[in-house]
Every structure is written in C-alpha cells, then in structure tokens.
Amino acid sequence: MLDPVLLRQRPAEIAERLKATRGYALDAAVLESLESERKQIQTRTQELQNLRNTRSKAIGQAKAKGEDVAPLMAEVAGIADELKASESRLETIRDEIEAIASGIPNLPQDSVPPGEDESGNVEQHRWGTPRSFDFKVLDHVELGARNGWLDGDTAAKLSGARFTVLRGPLARLHRALAQFMLDLHTGEHGYLEVNVPVIVNADSMRGTGQLPKFEEDLFSTAVGDSKRYLIPTSEVPLTNIVRDEIVEDAQLPLRMSAHSMCFRAEAGSHGRDTRGMIRQHQFEKVELVSIARPEESDAEHERMTRCAEVVLERLGLPYRRMLLCSGDMGFSASKTFDLEVWLPSQDTYREISSCSNCDAFQARRMQARWRNPATGKPEPVHTLNGSGVAVGRAMIAVMENYQQADGSIVVPEVLRPYMGGVDVLR
C-alpha cells in the first residue's frame, strides 16, 4: 500500500496524482475526516487510560488509609465504560482507513508515460526480424490439432472452456521450455530455484495485492474452516516468503525463481482469446522475484527484464520491449516493462512477459523489511516480479515461428538437449 504518512498528511495531493495517472478516484475528504476523528479519539483514549491508571492508584492509597473508596470506584467504572467505547470506535476508524488504503493502487514512477490504456504504451526496442513465409501460415491450434497434440475438445470435456490437453512431442516441448528457462535463470542469471505451494492463504494474497480488490479473478477452495486460493502466479508465494520478516542487508538482493502452475478465472476477459492457449484458466510460468534495497530496485528491474529477454533471444524469437503507461499497469506496480513476442498467425506482437517494480507497495502490506546498516533500523524492502517467461505462450511462439510447409515444427537448437536430440516435430 502507499506510504501511510503521505496518506495522512497529503491526501488531496495523492488523490490528484492518482486521478491524473491511474484514473482512480480517491475521496480525500473522507480520508481527512476519518484521520481527524482518529486523532481526536486517540488523544481522548490516551487521556482516559492515564486517568484510569491515576484513579486506580488513588483507590489503593485510599484503601490503605481506611477511607471510603466507593466514589472513586464509581468514577473508575465510568472511565472504563467510556474507554471501552473509545477504543472500539478507534479500532473501527482504523479498519475503515485500512480498507480504503488497501484498495488504492500504487503511484507510477516519474519515468512512466501518462496514458489511459495500452495505446499509451511506449516501445523501447526490438530484437530479431519476423520471418517471411512462402506458404500459408497456420496458427498454433491448427499446427497442434493435425496430430492430436493439442486437444481443446477433450480438455473441455474434462474441465470446461479455456483448458487444453497436450500430448506426445508437444507435451515434451512444453516441458523442455520450462526446464530450459529454469536452468538459464538459475545457472546463468543467479536466481535461486524455489518450489512453492500453489494454494495459499488470504494473507498471502493480500500481501501482493490480489485481495481484496481482485477476488473475482481468483479460484478458491475451502480447507477445513478456512478459505484458500489457487495462485494466479508464483509471484504470490515467492514474494510472501519475506512477509513479516526482517531481511539482513547481506542477503540482498534476494533473487528467486519458480516454475509453477498458475490459475486465473479471467473474469474480465469474456470473449478474448478464446481460441487455443493464449488465455487459459490453467497455465504454467517460470517466475522471477527479487527482494531488493530501495536504492537498487530500478537497476534490479532493468536486470530482471533483461533476463527475460535472454530467454527469447536464445529461442530465436523476435520480440519488442514496451514501457507500460500509467493506465495500463497492474495494481501493485510502479513501473512495468512488457515483452511482446512475434506471432506470425496474428501478424503482431503479443505479451509473453511482464516485469514490474513495485517499490515498497507490497512490502508495506506484508511488513517485509530489511535492516538498513546506515541506521540499524528496519525499513520496507522493494519487491519486483516478472515472467521469465510464460511457458504456454513461449510454446505457441516456437510452434508458429518455426513451422514448416508440411506442418512440422523445427525445434530451436537450445531446446534439443531437453528433447533427447529431436530436431523436428513431425
């Protein structure tokens, strides 16, 4: 969440910035009113606590002298009743402020371009040249369905729409891509491989910003008497590893990577990309997460994005990097780079990775801190996350960019050791 000091001291300024950058309407007057009442009640609560303690001490002294303590006890009882009501109201106000604060998106960095939607995104650079085909290009569904390798009908019978069954060489290609990405990030890029749960509690979802605002996009289940959630990305469990922790300076930057199943209800995407594997309820991703010192997070953001770019370059897939505008960024992000891979069947670039710096936004929600050696005091860390990259979309890009006229698919050289030396899927 945003810095609570800023929200208390400059709510009108924050509201103006959110309106201009995010199109988010924050009612500063409500916050100011709640904050004013909180100060008054907190002051009165402290006065009552001191008064109760003073009168209680006086009762003890009066008893020791054999004096009548009934008037004092009646006064203390009245103080206790008022104190209880005051404490209850104070807790209610704090909860109301917390509820408002938890729904406020992060403020964009100054380097983020203004804009309302993806049309305001700014291209940073491109890599690779899209291939020219001398035959009719097929999309990944047509390429996979020819041999029964990609089967949406059977998946629909098993689970419903937006699921896919992969078979044979295509299932192996999918697995090879994930293994290649993990080996690259852990072996060359310095990330620690972590295997994480795919079901997490509400505190974890709140920590990274999925709750309470985006609950409709999540799959959930009941475990005993408590509600648990299927992760939309392993960013959630990876980042929450440092929740309620104080990380020592020597551990930073803490870089972690995980390959996991991901689950998204896609509640707001009806009718979008319903064909094939572009937008699924269940998919796999290799995630990158960094926990960094605040002064190093911008450099860490650039480094993380570059690690994802290397994946696409090793696979020989043309891509472009986009700097997202303020209106197209995710809830927790202060700055985001998207990598978009070339898909020949669509004759355009499509997102395959999103790398975001969240500054201290998630850390404040999680109470994730580091011990600053300059002060010796705990301060919020900065958290970053990125796709390194989405496995299914990488497979789609390989299928379409490496297809041949007979419908076979050339295996990129870097993947062949993971495919038992197979160089063409026929």
| 234 carries a ligand binding annotation | yes
> What distance in Å separates the CA atoms of residue 407 and residue 405, rounded to the nearest whole number?
5
Torsion 190-195-198-202 (CA) sign: negative
Confidence (pLDDT) at 387: 98
Q: Got the DSSP string for 26-62?
A: --HHHHHHHHHHHHHHHHHHHHHHHHHHHHHHHHHHH
| 20 carries a ligand binding annotation | no
Structure tokens at 76: 């203390």
Confidence (pLDDT) at 147: 85
Q: Are strands 409-410 and 424-425 parallel, antiparallel or unpaired?
A: antiparallel
Lowest mean pLDDT segment, chosen from 55-59, 172-176, 215-219, 236-240: 55-59
| 233 carries a ligand binding annotation | yes
| 351 carries a ligand binding annotation | yes
Q: Say if residue 93 is exposed, middle or buried (CB neighbours under 10 Å; 0-12, 13-18, 19+).
A: buried
Look up tokens 């290799």; give the residue: 286
Query: What secondary structure letter does DSSP report for 246?
Result: E
- Are 415 and 387 contacting, i.e. CB atoms less than 8 angstroms apart? no
Per-residue confidence at 270, pLDDT binned at 50, 70, 90? low
pLDDT digits (tens, 9 = 90+) for 201-221: 999 999 999 999 999 999 999
| 159 carries a ligand binding annotation | no
Q: Which residues belong to the active site?
A: 264, 279, 351, 354, 393
Helix (H, G, I), strand (E, B) or coil at 342: strand
229 bridge partner residues: 200, 220
Confidence (pLDDT) at 275: 84
Kind and range of the H or E run holding 260: strand 254-263
Amino acid (1-letter code) at residue 407: G
Q: Is 128 left (phi over 0), alpha (psi -120 to 50) or beta?
A: left
pLDDT digits (tens, 9 = 90+) for 43-102: 999 999 999 999 899 998 988 888 888 888 999 999 999 999 999 999 999 999 999 999
pLDDT digits (tens, 9 = 90+) for 17-58: 999 999 999 999 999 999 999 999 999 999 999 999 998 999
415-426 burial string, b = 16+ CB within 10 Å, else e?
beebbeeeeebe
CA 159 vs. chain centroid, Å, equals 26
| 156 carries a ligand binding annotation | no
Amino acid (1-letter code) at residue 29: A
| 353 carries a ligand binding annotation | yes
> What distance in Å separates the CA atoms of residue 323 and residue 320, rounded to the nearest whole number?
10
Within 10 Å of residue 12's Cβ, how many Cβ atoms?
Answer: 12
pLDDT at 119 over 70: yes
